[in-house]
Amino acid sequence: MCDKTVQFSVLCSMLDAVARSKKPLLKRKHLRTFLDHVYTDHEFFSALRLILPGLDKERGTYGLKEAVLGKCIADALGLAKESEDAKKLLNWKKGSNAGNFPLVSAEVLYRRQSSSSGNLTIKDVNDYLDKLAAAESRDAKTTILAELINKTNAHEMRWIIIFILKELKLGISEKTVLHEFHPDAEDLFNVTCDLKLVCEKLKDRSQRFKRQDIVVGKPVRPQLASRVSGVEEAWKKLKGKRIVAECKFDGDRTQIHKNVNEVHFYSRSFIDHKEYTDGMAAVIIKQVKIDHCILDGEMLVWNKLTNRFAEFGSNQEVAKAAKDGLETDQQLCFVAFDILYSGDCSVTHQGLAERQILLKQVVQPLKGSLELLFPGSGCGHQDQPLWSTLVHTPEEINKFFMETVENRDEGIVLKDLDSKWEPGDRSGKWVKLKPDYVHAESELDALIIGCYLGSGRRGGEIGQFLLGLAEKPTQGGHPTRFFSFCKVGSGLSDNERDVLVSKLKPYLREVGRNTKPPSFYIVTNSSKERPDFWVEQPEKSVILEITSDIRTIKSEVFAAPYSLRFPRTNRIRYDKPWYDCLDVDSLVQLVHSRSGN
């Protein structure tokens, strides 16, 4: 059989069997049987791109998350806005099957679709999905979904919805799927990031494949760092090796491929960031002295006034300003910390120390625009710590870590100077040490002002909280207004959360489409700020002690001027009265005192 004739229902049955099986071996067997017996024409790509949607870069994005998808499906079914089923789709986080959008939609679809299979082939489904991704308007997407609904049953449609949301939850890793397809599939994918090519080259599954080297123009799966909880653990992992400690820059991991006058900027998930072209391509063409080269590093923003890297999160804005030809104080800056390809061959097999020498030979740095990382490099200010240094003892690691963190950098990465660069490897040749794994610098007390329903495992239950900070009260009084500050979901055990929610429940007001927040909460218009419930009386609410990454970030989402990165609940402060939460002025002071302003 070929992909033109394999029925989509066969794929659905296999996916059901994999999802249902508890034992990993059985899951693998179902997948293997499907691959071994269903395809005889080797068109594996059509099925594998559905099973591993995260690896398929052939199809654009659908632009459909649950909220919009729910509206499109309701329209495709011709449901009246106020009908029970339309409400069910739109309020998918509540009611039966809460938090599981595909199940909620299947429940609605079961009542409307015929029970027999629509006889679509896998190819038909892929064609429809191509059209869905290419459709620009919501109406056009709705029309395609309506056709799909007409030609499938609810069970098949549920899987299609799962593909669109890219959340298969099969309990089987991407690595295993690739391995069941072909023993060389993972290796080949790692150096090409191209699932279609992998399926074509390995279609004869009985033939082993000669290891392929990396090439300019095909992104490579990045080498990653394993996490350690402290200097001691880092030392245990790297003791006896030649170690370099580097600053962990807080930007976007980017792989730059230069092919004469053509430059590509690949993200960690192998997306080609064309928006960096205007700001960076000319710099790369000029400063990289060879025609063919792959650099590995971090894309950041450099502030020309402060002579420092800007806070995380401004890359896109600055890239857009460069595209629009706007003069600003900020510019893109690429910090190259590795070189993977030079001239006419890959250099990943060389040790890091050798690669760093090559990096310096091949790339001419340009202040604030193209920086290089090697022992001794830094921003050039004497009062600033180096970006990279050799370390020989745990004490030296600790010193570098403390200096780096005080400088408000994200943490450090320790690397074995003799190690090869391995695609997709996280085995510990690089280890990362971040302040939030070691100690949180600040513990802040914030008041719960809203609650969000969770999805997935905690579907239908409150899973996250919107926290607020007080407006500084007049002397002796209690605060009367609270500014939204951050959203927190992690840190509490299920039991702690259940007790907390049961205490808050009597005071929760469900948020409808037109519900305004209570007047004593100051919030922005951001959609992140729309919890599912407001806590109606702040005086009945509870304070959470929050720890976070060492730095605060300027907030555009929340009403308080700063928010936290990666906030986590440390403990519930039942012992603290509601009015004793942190106030906004104190937060601002705290931030300024830390940044030395």
Residues catalogued as catalytic: 248
Q: Cβ of residue 386: shortest distance to ligand ATP, in angstroms?
A: 12
Q: Cβ of residue 357: shortest distance to ligand ATP, in angstroms?
A: 17
- Give the separation between CA 100 and CA 318, rounded to whole angstroms: 37
Instruction: Compute the half-sphere exposure of residue 555: CA atoms within 13 Å on the CB side of its CA.
Output: 26
Restricting to residues 147-206, which ones interact with ligand ATP according to CB under 6 A? none
Identify which of residues 221 and 487 has a Cβ nearer to ligand ATP in the complex: 221
Those residues with Cβ within 8 angstroms of residue 189's Cβ, 6 or more apart along the chain or in another chain: 55, 178, 195, 198, 221
Identify which of residues 413 and 587 has a Cβ nearer to ligand ATP in the complex: 413
Restricting to residues 326-345, which ones interact with ligand ATP according to CB under 6 A? 337
Tokens of 9: 């229902």
Q: Cβ of residue 354: shortest distance to ligand ATP, in angstroms?
A: 17
Identify which of residues 102 and 222 has a Cβ nearer to ligand ATP in the complex: 222
- Give the separation between CA 318 and CA 279, rounded to whole angstroms: 8
Identify which of residues 109 and 433 has a Cβ nearer to ligand ATP in the complex: 433
Q: Cβ of residue 549: shortest distance to ligand ATP, in angstroms?
A: 10
Q: Which residues of 16-38 are buried (b: 16+ CB within 10 A; e: fewer)?
A: ebbbebeeeeebbebbeebbeeb
Among 27, 432, 487, 497, binds ligand ATP (CB under 6 A): 432
For position 298 contacting ligand ATP by CB under 6 A, the verdict is yes
- Give the separation between CA 132 and CA 168, rounded to whole angstroms: 19
Stretch that binds ligand ATP, among 219-227, 311-319, 361-369, 467-475 (CB under 6 A): 219-227
Restricting to residues 58-87, which ones interact with ligand ATP according to CB under 6 A? none
Q: Which residues of 277-309 are buried (b: 16+ CB within 10 A; e: fewer)?
A: bbbbbebbeebbeeebbbbbbbbbbbbeeeebb
Restricting to residues 401-430, which ones interact with ligand ATP according to CB under 6 A? 413
Q: Cβ of residue 343: shortest distance to ligand ATP, in angstroms?
A: 23
Q: Cβ of residue 179: shortest distance to ligand ATP, in angstroms?
A: 22
Identify which of residues 56 and 246 has a Cβ nearer to ligand ATP in the complex: 246
Asked if residues 309 and 297 have their Cβ atoms less than 8 Å apart, the reply is no
Q: How distant, in Å, are the alpha carbons of 115, 171, 259, 347 from that of 344?
A: 58, 41, 11, 10
Asked if residues 131 and 176 have their Cβ atoms less than 8 Å apart, the reply is no
Among 42, 253, 458, 503, binds ligand ATP (CB under 6 A): 253
Strand 292-303 vs strand 443-453: parallel, antiparallel, or unpaired? unpaired
- Number of residues in contact with ligand ATP under rule CB under 6 A: 13
- The residues facing 296 across adjacent strands are 255, 338
For position 309 contacting ligand ATP by CB under 6 A, the verdict is no
- Give the separation between CA 161 and CA 53, rounded to whole angstroms: 12
For position 249 contacting ligand ATP by CB under 6 A, the verdict is yes
Largest CA distance in the chain: 80
204, burial (CB in 10 Å: exposed 0-12, middle 13-18, buried 19+)? exposed
Identify which of residues 89 and 373 has a Cβ nearer to ligand ATP in the complex: 373
Among 103, 146, 215, 224, binds ligand ATP (CB under 6 A): 224
For position 301 contacting ligand ATP by CB under 6 A, the verdict is no
Among 27, 93, 158, 248, binds ligand ATP (CB under 6 A): 248
Q: Cβ of residue 268: shortest distance to ligand ATP, in angstroms?
A: 6
Q: Cβ of residue 10: shortest distance to ligand ATP, in angstroms?
A: 36
Stretch that binds ligand ATP, among 47-55, 166-174, 246-254, 274-282 (CB under 6 A): 246-254
Q: Cβ of residue 224: shortest distance to ligand ATP, in angstroms?
A: 3
Handedness of CA 289, 292, 296, 298 (dihedral sign): positive
Stretch that binds ligand ATP, among 183-191, 218-226, 532-540, 547-555 (CB under 6 A): 218-226
The 225-244 contact track toward ligand ATP, x by CB under 6 A, reads: x-------------------
Stretch that binds ligand ATP, among 44-52, 57-65, 220-228, 230-238 (CB under 6 A): 220-228
Q: Where are the beta strands (DSSP E) in 400-442?
A: 412-416, 430-433
Among 246, 371, 425, 549, binds ligand ATP (CB under 6 A): 246
Identify which of residues 92 and 270 has a Cβ nearer to ligand ATP in the complex: 270
Asked if residues 17 and 25 have their Cβ atoms less than 8 Å apart, the reply is no
Identify which of residues 57 and 253 has a Cβ nearer to ligand ATP in the complex: 253
Q: At 43, which amino acid appears?
A: E
Identify which of residues 249 and 521 has a Cβ nearer to ligand ATP in the complex: 249
- Give the separation between CA 314 and CA 330, rounded to whole angstroms: 9
- Give the separation between CA 190 and CA 179, rounded to whole angstroms: 13
Restricting to residues 361-390, which ones interact with ligand ATP according to CB under 6 A? 373
Alpha-helical regions (H) of 394-466? 394-406, 435-438
Virtual torsion, Cα 174, 178, 181, 186, nearest 10 deg:
180
Tell me if residue 564 falls in helix, strand or coil.
Answer: strand
Residues near ligand ATP, by CB under 6 A: 222, 224-225, 246, 248-249, 253, 268, 298, 337, 373, 413, 432
